[in-house]
Structure 1
């Protein structure tokens, strides 16, 4: 810490400000988040993923593909947070359906990301090389997308909530 203070004379003041801010935040009356509220939030996130996927299938634009990937990633991160909270002793349900959903969402996000990357590469290459070679390269890159589409087709939409898990 002495080295940090020597390199940055305002370091001590910033640490003091951070400490004061932490105390103020800790003193706030935070509402308890019920397991039902978490369940409703997960259900809403799951609906967003499905809606984004439906939009992407109906209109496969770059924007819709990116939106779908973000929604999938967000739901996965929410489930991972629930797992971490539960592992710290909080009374939140985390079932095998959640574990499976995390794996499925992770694979889906990776597949969507690979598709995005290949499409971007295809677009850039198509603008930079002659027409005939560009056409061949684009066809090859499109063929490289196929396994990622297969991953997405093979996976059923993840069931993240107890209500959904009980229905399956």
Structure 2
């Protein structure tokens, strides 16, 4: 009787996922409110948007998630250029440290100026992210209104199977095509599956469900984390290449562009992580 009472007091899988989604919503709002560490806030806000998008497919198909998904996607996309500009600087510094390159101090300063100018321009258009925060509040309210209690373990398993098929398909195409776009699609799908596994692992623990499957989800998420980290470096390198193309012409920039033509293939495979 004691064990049964203890089990009955635990939340259902859907209730646990609702709690986790609420926590992620709070993280999103806090990230957008950050002022002193603006780039960290941008990064955390985009991660929260991606995590929340990953959890929506776990809801029953009849739930009105399309508008929420679209809103999260647009919010994340609005911050993407700012994050990319910051990552271009970060990647340049990593390459300058790890390789003999033409990434000189003037080039780094040009990338840093570009990053600062983009932030300044964005903040003039949306001071302290007020418009974005209003939109985020609207999205959060819509997320809270969804019927999380309707989520069933069987539906979660079906969703994971579908996500795994999408990852396998993207992986095959990426290995066949060897293009940045294909690799990025593989990374996005692998990351989404990883988030789903992490959410379900935590929710199952909260709901007191069988440990074996819960542990499997944790192991699978850990493997996917290694995959997305490796693919993430390639994406960061591509962002760096695109940023260099957009810098004003100078002797230093032109020299770096010439060097990138011959070395970019080997650099893109470099195991550089912060």
Determine whether 1:118 maps to 2:237: yes
Relative distance call for 1:39 and 1:123 in structure 2 (3 A) is: same
Q: How much does 1:142 deviate?
A: 2.9
Which of 129, 135, 139 is the matching residue for 2:258? 135
Give the structure with higher Rg (CA). Answer: 1
Contact 2:205 2:214 in 1 (8 A): no
Determine the C-alpha separation between the residues in 2 that align with 1:50 and 1:36.
Answer: 21
Q: Which runs of 4+ in 1 moved over 6 A?
A: none
Shift of 1:61: 3.1
2:175 equivalent to 1:57: yes
Where 1:94 maps in the other structure, the secondary structure is helix
Shift of 1:29: 9.6
Deviation at 1:25, TM superposition (A): 4.3
Q: Which has the higher contact order (CA 8 A, sep 6+)?
A: 2
Q: Which residue of 2 aligns with 1:84?
A: 202
Q: TM-score, with normalisation over the residues of structure 2?
A: 0.39
Task: Give the drift of 1:90.
Answer: 4.2
Shift of residue 94 of structure 1?
A: 0.8
Partners of 2:200 and 2:217 within 8 A in 1: no
Aligned-residue offset at 1:63: 2.8
Cα-to-partner distance string for 1:23-54 (whole Å, 9 max, x where unaligned): x948x695351x33222221111110010111
- What is aligned with 1:11? none
CA displacement at 1:147 relative to structure 2: 4.1
RMSD over equivalenced CA pairs, Å? 3.1
Mapping 1:1-168, distance limit 5 Å: 25=145, 30-33=149-152, 35-91=153-209, 93-95=213-215, 97-125=216-244, 128=247, 129-130=253-254, 133-148=256-271
Q: Deviations over 1:68-108 (max 9, x none)?
A: 1110111000001111111212425312x322211111121
Query: Structure 1 stretch 104-113 or stretch 57-66: which is displaced more?
Result: 57-66
Q: In 1, Cα distance between the equivalents of 2:200 and 2:180?
A: 31
- Of 35-44 and 105-114, more deviation after overlay is shown by 35-44
After TM superposition, give the deviation of residue 118 of structure 1 in Å.
0.8
Unaligned runs of 5+ residues in structure 1 are 1-17, 149-168
